[in-house]
Copies of this chain bind each other. A is one copy, B any other.
Amino acid sequence: MLPEKTIQRLSKYRRLLANYRYVREPYIFSHDLARLLNLNPVQVRRDLMLIGSPGNNRKGYNVNELIELITKVIDTGKNTNIIIVGFGRLGQAICNYLNEHQEFQTVVAAFDVDVNKINREFPGVFCHDIGKIREIIQKKQVAIAVLTTPDDFATDMANILIESGIKGILNFTSVQLKTEKSVYVKDFDIITTLEEIGYFASIM
């Protein structure tokens, strides 16, 4: 198992390389990769060595080969299907953003309780009744859920997700989810993060 920080950097390398692929050279130097992401070149070379990339001092790294290699490491050949749970403004925005910017994971369904949203096709995704969530998670072999429900429903929804086989949750609610060993949870509460920034910014 690789450390969290290494996975995060590999993800950033892959994204940059994927953009690079379309517009520039078939090769990239580690110092360019480092410069574009504001990282230390030694760190970049160490990461790429760690995942077994040979590199090439004269020409740099082959962009396509490096993308493939990183994909093998971080996607581990498993499925990377995502669902959005709670299809309000934030859920819809995240869905659109992922559809436009994320080529290595796929949003396969959205869920809500609002009758005006359910059984409707939205740009890039179909919104289902929340009651169908277990069935669709299993049918589409979903691994990851983005949780953007109102806070009141967060705990119950998380339990349903975990019972249905979800292994990873990105939690945008302000509710602390009970940590289960069988699921990997990352919390991101935008408002709390901004208030934390406000506090530390104000005392600087």
Question: Which of A55-63, A93-101, A109-117 contacts the other chain?
Answer: A93-101
Chain B residues near A12 (CB-CB < 8 A): 174, 189, 192
* Chain B residues, Cβ within 8 Å of A160: none
With A101-B191, A170-B193, A184-B197: A202-B89 Cβ-Cβ less than 8 Å: no
Number of copies: 2
Nearest neighbor of A2 in chain B, beta-carbon distance = B199
Residues of B within 8 A of A94 (CB): 93, 190
Inter-subunit contact B89/A96 (CB<8 Å): yes
Give residues in A with beta carbon < 8 Å to B.
1-2, 4, 7-8, 11-12, 14-16, 36-39, 74-76, 78, 80, 82, 89-90, 92-94, 96-98, 100-102, 104-105, 143-144, 146, 151, 155, 167-170, 174-178, 182-184, 186, 188-204
